[in-house]
Structure 1
Amino acid sequence: MKQNQVFDHRLAEECASAFSAATGLGCTVSDKNGAVLFEKGYGCTSCRMCRLAGLKQENCVQTHIYGMSEAERFGGKYIYFGPMGLTFFVSPILGSEGSEAKITVGPFLMVELQDYIACDLKEQLKIPDEKLPALCRELEKVPFVAPDIVSHLSTLLFMSVGFLNNVSSSNRMLKTQDSDAIQGQITAYIQYLKSTKEPSRYPFATEKALLQAVERADKPEAQRLLNELFGFIFFSQGGDFEGAKSRVYELLVLISRHAIQAGGDPEEMLRLSQQYLYDLAALSDIDSLCFWLTNVMNTFMDRIFNYTNAKHASVIHQSIQYLNAHYSEHVTLEQMAQLVFLSPAYFSRVFKQETGLSFNTYLNKVRIEHSKAILLKQSLRLTDVAMLAGFEDQSYFTKVFKKFTGTTPLHYRAAHMKMREEKSSPEKT
């Protein structure tokens, strides 16, 4: 979340999406001035009723702002009618200084379609006959909700937004605590630098350790090392805050590039780097910078961890499928890494983390499993079995086979052929 945002947009969007999916009603997230931030389903921006009737869009905006003020007055929820007589209900989203946004549900009908056309469109709004056909076609998109259900739905929205408000408030408090902790660590490190008599040289060893922590997705260690580097930057800049911000940005770009090597989504990491340049320009003091840095590190770690988890599952599945289909061919770790668009070193590490085996060990295991079926064909020489299973050397095949099964290929064949003969022979009387 940006420093100038006072509520969690992501949580608000998730809340609106879930409510819309569950109820089939349109949900709109908008700020306290009526600007639409997100919409799911048939909401106000999708609705063309006002435009088709010749009414100004501003009328709808003002009605929704009024609805939010009434929701505040009546304890967090309010059911009301729009300029066209369609129904809405709303719950405000709390920011750091009161209601900063709202989730609005609607429009929808609470009366039968024909009654609405006769009473609202014709009698109350005096809609000309020539405009009625277009309005009736638009009304086919407007959902109907029975009156006795509307109040329950309004309560559900109120409870959902209430949860969102509590989570956002808790997150803000936690970020404030994290910010204080970060500032304390940076200040302590600056004091340490002041007390030492050694010359102020850039701590490349700390930077290297930081990048390794990012690669491991070790958030606490990465944050600690990052604080030390920020402390050095602030100390070495001698009070030049703008210069410190430039050095901070350079460091963040370096982290983002290393995060890409560690498996982060390249497009997402580049987008974050661009966003950080924009955000840094708006920061004017160390307090706001520390608060912002808390979110930066959390975002980096979340993006790396979440993206790589999803990507790892796909990579491992694709790799296993390929090995089972091509085990008899010459397959190397480098070739497999290239097929899944990863560096050999990173692919090797991911593969072992997910399967518990190194790539070569897993490939040998697959080949041995397939060789068991091939061995039961008595007409094949051991050299041919090894070749068909993907082994170029018969002696190496025998060695690997014994390692996985505890016996040699020929003993395995003999034992299983004997078992097969015993099963096929008639029982002795």
Structure 2
Amino acid sequence: MNQGDQYQDKKLQWLEKLVGRNLLDKMLCSFSKSTGLKAILVDNKGNTLISTDHAIKDCNFCDMIKSDSNGAKKCQRSYARACTEASKYGEPYIFRCHAGLIMWAAPILLDEYVGSIICGQVLMWEPEDYFLEEIEEMVMGLNIDVAAVKWSAAQLEIMSSDRVQAAADLLFVVANQIMQSGMTVLAQRREITAQQARLAEEIQARKRVEIAMGTIESRIISSNSLDKEQELKSMVRNGEKEATAQLLDKLLVDIIAKNSNHIGTLKTRIMELVVIISRAAVDGGAELTEILKLNALFHQELLEITSPDELCLWAKNMLETFMNYLETNKNQKNLLAIQKAAEYIRKNYRNKLSIDDIAQAVYLSPCYVSRIFKQGLGCTLMEYLTQVRVEEAKTMLKNPKYNVMQVAEESGFEDPGYFTRVFKKLEGVTPSRFKQYAL
């Protein structure tokens, strides 16, 4: 294999790792079969990396041009120029090849890889004499049958400018899908690399500490890992997402530092963390049946992981899944508790109510129900109780058979003076003046 072939092979292998050969073949073949146009994937030097010959072959015209080595080189240079122009502007580039055919290129830009999908081999007008003469000039010097080439050119498909533009746009969509798939893999790789660097730095720092402080310090670190696991349970239970993620990284450092060469042991230790985190999630209010389903899913995923780097990223995503579920579940339960507290207040506003009474009714601590009520409705329990009582008072004040004293008592205010002060603060007028306006 010469140096040029090695370069092409290296480029193709790199692209296949990002996107996958099957996906590349499938997308190019789907485009070719749906449009009837041959599509090829080229690099920035015009080298063909993937071709859809098995789906759509070159036209006779192109076969004859490429049968000559100089003609094939000219085709490659046309592709390289089209790739450069398409990548320069980041959009489909419609061009005439060296032999005069209409083609177009859609750019693919993935990190260090620059390439394009090329397709076409059509005409946009009826071939006239001057065009055939122009072709004769273009192929001059090639060892081919000029008359046969001119005849083949006259048989080429003629496409309108609208169809050419539509095909170019569709090709651009295919190229963007390939880039999006590659970008997803690149982002994951970068995330793994970044986490690997962080963990490697922690591991090296830990090793230096162990060397400096000897066996005793190493035992202390082991003991600290148990403390960290207990701390992790507490943080998960309390829904402390950011702090929990940071602590998990430290635990992963502990685990990898001692088991870096034993992937099976690493998986076992991390599965122990899954159990610890899931139990803490249940303690934090998550549904046990849902947590057990997640555990089963995580166990299956864990079996398929083959490297410590993937394992660390997987552990991070596992924790995030648990924390998001716990947060969602807690929010739902909080909303239900707020609704029950509000309903209890509306039903019992005439009675003398305290925060303890309301908390007991919804089976939560006074401090917790006060906090979530304030967060959910923007007012305290007592403020909400006052608002309910004032709204009821307004309804009663509109009825002639009730005087202000009766209204105050019936709406839950024991002190008429306090009732008047609260009513005026919320409504801007005294109860007596409100009653005059209402009647």
TM norm structure 2? 0.49
Code of the residue aligned with 1:176 in structure 2: it is T
Amino acid in structure 1 at the alignment position of 2:375: Q
Per-residue deviation, 1:270? 3.6
Match of 1:72 among 41, 61, 80: 41
After superposition, give the CA deviation of every residue in 1:345-381 in whole Å (9 maximum; x if it has no partner): 8776544333333455434434433433334435336
Q: 1:159 to 1:228 in 2, by over 3 A?
A: closer
Aligned to 1:153: 170
SS in 2 for 1:395: coil
Q: Deviations over 1:22-53 (max 9, x none)?
A: xxxxxxxxx75479xxxxxxxxxxxxxxxxxx
Q: Residues 21-420 of structure 1 correspond to what in structure 2 (within 5 A)? A: 32-33=21-22, 64=30, 70-73=39-42, 147=163, 149-185=166-202, 188-189=205-206, 192=209, 195=213, 197=217, 199=220, 200-201=222-223, 203=225, 205-214=227-236, 217-233=239-255, 242-259=264-281, 262=284, 269-284=291-306, 286-304=308-326, 307=328, 312=332, 316=335, 319=338, 323=342, 327-329=346-348, 332-333=358-359, 335=361, 349-359=371-381, 361-377=383-399, 379-380=401-402, 385=407, 389=411, 391=412, 394-395=413-414, 402=421, 406=425, 412-420=430-438
Q: What is the alpha-carbon distance in structure 2 between the residues aligned to residue 166 and residue 80 of structure 1?
A: 27
Residues 55-85 of structure 1 deviation map (CA, whole Å, 9 limit, x = unaligned): xxxxx99955987x945349999999989xx
- CA–CA distance in 2 between the matches of 1:352 and 1:64? 56
Conservation of the 8 A alpha-carbon contact between 1:328 and 1:388: no
CA RMSD of aligned residues (A): 5.8
Question: 1:64/1:325 Cα in 2 relative to 1: closer, same or farther (>3 Å)?
Answer: same
Contact 2:373 2:380 in 1 (8 A): yes
Aligned length, in residue pairs: 309
Alpha-carbon separation, structure 2, partners of 1:94 and 1:271: 40
User: Once the 2 structures are TM-superposed, how far is the Cα of residue 251 of structure 1 from its aligned partner?
Assistant: 1.8
Alpha carbons of structure 1 residues 179 and 74: separation in structure 2 relative to 1, 3 Å: closer
CA distance in 2, matches of 1:80, 1:268: 50
Shift of 1:407: 8.2
Q: Quick one: structure 1 residues 156 and 321, their matched pair in 2 at CA, closer, same or farther if it must change by over 3 Å?
A: farther
Q: In structure 1, the residue corresponding to 2:347 is in which secondary structure?
A: coil
Q: Displacement of 1:235 after TM fit?
A: 6.1
Q: Which residue of 1 aligns with 2:77?
A: none
Task: After superposition, give the CA deviation of every residue in 1:244-277 in whole Å (9 maximum; x if it has no partner).
Answer: 4323212222223433555667666444322322
- The CA deviation at 1:182 is 3.2
Cα distance between partner residues in 2 of 1:404 and 1:7 = 68
Q: Counterparts of 1:386 and 1:77 in 2: how far apart (Å)? A: 85
How much does 1:224 deviate?
A: 1.9
Distance 2:288 2:178 in 1: 34
Match for 1:417: what amino acid? K
Which amino acid is the alignment partner of residue 431 of structure 2?
Answer: R
Ranges in structure 2 where 5+ consecutive residues have no aligned partner = 1-16, 57-105, 114-161, 350-356
Alpha-carbon distance, 1:177 to partner: 0.6
Q: Secondary structure at the match of 1:72?
A: strand
Distance 1:80 1:380 in 2: 92
Give the whole-Å Cα distance in 2 for the aligned partners of 1:78 and 1:345: 68
The aligned amino acid for 1:354 is G
Contact 2:255 2:269 in 1 (8 A): yes
SS of 1:279 mapped into structure 2: helix
Distance 1:303 1:287 in 2: 25
Deviation at 1:169, TM superposition (A): 1.8
Once the two structures are TM-superposed, the CA of residue 290 in structure 1 deviates from its matched residue by 2.3
What whole-Å deviation, never above 9, does each CA across 1:98-139 have from its counterpart, x for those lacking one? 9xxxxxxxxxxxxxxxxxxxxxxxxxxxxxxxxxxxxxxxxx
Amino acid in structure 2 at the alignment position of 1:246: T
What SS does structure 2 have at the residue aligned with 1:327?
helix
Q: Distance in 2 between matches of 1:399 and 1:190?
A: 69
Q: Distance in 2 between matches of 1:349 and 1:245?
A: 40
Distance in 1 between the 2:210 and 2:421 partners? 60
Q: Deviations over 1:206-244 (max 9, x none)?
A: 334434443565443212211233344456779765344
CA displacement at 1:173 relative to structure 2 = 1.0
Whose radius of gyration is greater, 1 or 2? 2
Partner-residue secondary structure (3-state), 1:242: helix
Deviations 1:155-183 (A, max 9, x none): 23433543453354234313321232134
